[in-house]
Amino acid sequence: MDEISDWTHDLARRLHVRAPVETTELQKLFAAEDFAGLVGAIKRSFGLELKMELGRVKSGGCPTAPAWIKLPEFMPLYGTEAFRRTTVRVFIREEFMRWMPFPTLVSAIAHEMAHVVLESRWDPLRENEKVVDLTAMLFGFSELYFQGATYQAGRGNTVGYLSLQEVRYAASLMAKLRRASRQAERGSKFSAPYFLTRLRPRQVVTGVLAVVGLIIALAIAGRSFEGARQANRQQGAENVAQEERKPADAPLSAQVEAVPNSVPLGSEAITTSIASALSSAPTHNVNRTEDVRAIQERLFELGYLLKKPDGFWGPRSQQALHDFRLSAKLVGDSWDRKVEIALFDPASPRAMPQLRRSRTGSAPQQ
């Protein structure tokens, strides 16, 4: 029965287990011998929106089959417009329709409808006749299949391609799946997810061990992460403490006064001790508006910048700094600590007359 179980669970996963069909209308159509109406009602219970015709066979056709279906060579995909335009024909022998009991005839028609379901979904098991019977049972005909199989077994026959034992097992399995589905819909805390109904003991043990291993791995990773975070915090605290222990920078004027052996900036050379003191980065940043304004004010005061300071470090500000470096005999064009000290030194050289430019002109372009 393992194959029946596997096929049933696979079909239930893809097609879902349907509620048992309501037989009142079907029995009325059967009693009235409206077999075309009976075929149409069963077709609707399968949700097949396509055209279907009934062929009543008196002789000929498939010699061993009481019913069969003729499908197109290429079956369109279920639910498409081409599927809805498709016409299929169900053939049933006259003697079978008139002499078979209600459950047997309905089961035979449901079997042919299941062919349409599997063919229109291009199911890989659509050629397996037992899977076709299971599909019909899954669509709500399991009880009628069981009644028909019981009747046929008493005469040494079968209904469809399943034995009476296989029909009984499949029907009980579908009933369990149907109950589990209803419990899940009601949100019962005792209902298990669908996939758990398929697990075997060995699979359960393997899954539990995998979950335990994952939990242990996550715990180890979390502990390592927490240790690394604490180490980073400790290192950060140590860095802050070291920064706090460092002496604050002295004012710029004090640094200039502390330079030993200082000489006027107009000299041709600067002593080695002064060069060492000037090697650090400047305290005024040309990318900050307040610092740029302070530099521009000093250049304006010395006569190198002709427009009033605006805090924007542009071409005119750079040219003014270049002119100052020429007057102070400082090599290069970049803004550095050496130039900063020289610029803010009280003895800084003022702009020579030949470097002064007219104060009239266009808008400022510092």
Q: Are residues 185 and 108 in the same domain?
A: yes
φ, ψ of residue 91 to 5 degrees: the values are -110, 130
> How far is it, in rounded angstroms, from Cα 119 to Cα 130?
14
Q: Are residues 281 and 148 in the same domain?
A: no
pLDDT at 330: 85
320 confidence band (pLDDT: 50, 70, 90): confident
Average pLDDT for the chain: 81
The answer to whether residue 55 scores a pLDDT higher than 50 is yes
Q: Are residues 36 and 144 in the same domain?
A: yes
pLDDT at 228: 81
Q: In what order do the strands lie in the sheet with 67-70?
A: 51-57, 87-93, 67-70
- Give 338: exposed, middle or buried? Use CB within 10 Å, 0-12, 13-18, 19+: buried
Q: What is the pLDDT of residues 83-124, one digit of tens each?
A: 999 999 999 999 888 888 999 999 999 999 999 999 999 999
| 360 within some domain | no
Lowest mean pLDDT, pick from 111-120, 142-151, 231-240, 285-294: 231-240
| 29 within some domain | yes
Q: Are residues 290 and 174 in the same domain?
A: no
Q: How far is CA 46 from CA 33, 112, 138, 165, 177, in A?
A: 21, 11, 10, 25, 19
How many domains does one find in the chain? 2
| 243 within some domain | no
| 234 within some domain | no
pLDDT at 265: 47
User: Do 274 and 261 meet the contact criterion of CB atoms below 8 Å apart?
Assistant: yes
Residue with tokens 């920078």: 249
Closest CA to 150 of 138, 139, 162: 162
| 258 within some domain | no
Listed residues 178, 198, 218: the one ending a domain: 198
Q: Are residues 70 and 176 in the same domain?
A: yes
- Domain range for 339 is 267-355
The pair of three-digit structure tokens given for residue 260, joined into one six-digit string: 């030993």
Q: What is the pLDDT of residues 174-184, one digit of tens each?
A: 999 988 888 87
Listed residues 181, 198, 215: the one ending a domain: 198
The answer to whether residue 61 scores a pLDDT higher than 80 is no
Q: Are residues 105 and 11 in the same domain?
A: yes
Q: Are residues 41 and 180 in the same domain?
A: yes
| 50 within some domain | yes
| 222 within some domain | no
Q: What is the pLDDT of residues 259-317, one digit of tens each?
A: 444 444 444 444 444 555 445 678 888 888 889 889 989 889 888 888 889 888 888 88
65 confidence band (pLDDT: 50, 70, 90): confident
Say if pTM beats, i.e. exceeds, 0.85.
Answer: no
Q: Looking at residue 317, which CATH number applies to its domain?
A: 1.10.101
198 confidence band (pLDDT: 50, 70, 90): low
pLDDT at 21: 92
pLDDT at 77: 93
Average pLDDT over residues 205-219: 91
Q: How far is CA 295 from CA 236, 287, 320, 349, 350, in A?
A: 35, 12, 10, 15, 14
Higher pLDDT, 80 or 62: 80
The answer to whether residue 8 scores a pLDDT higher than 60 is yes
The answer to whether residue 190 scores a pLDDT higher than 90 is no
pLDDT at 286: 82
Percent over 70 (pLDDT), the chain: 80
pLDDT at 173: 93
The answer to whether residue 199 scores a pLDDT higher than 90 is no
pLDDT at 195: 54
| 142 within some domain | yes
The answer to whether residue 186 scores a pLDDT higher than 50 is yes
Listed residues 198, 228, 258: the one ending a domain: 198
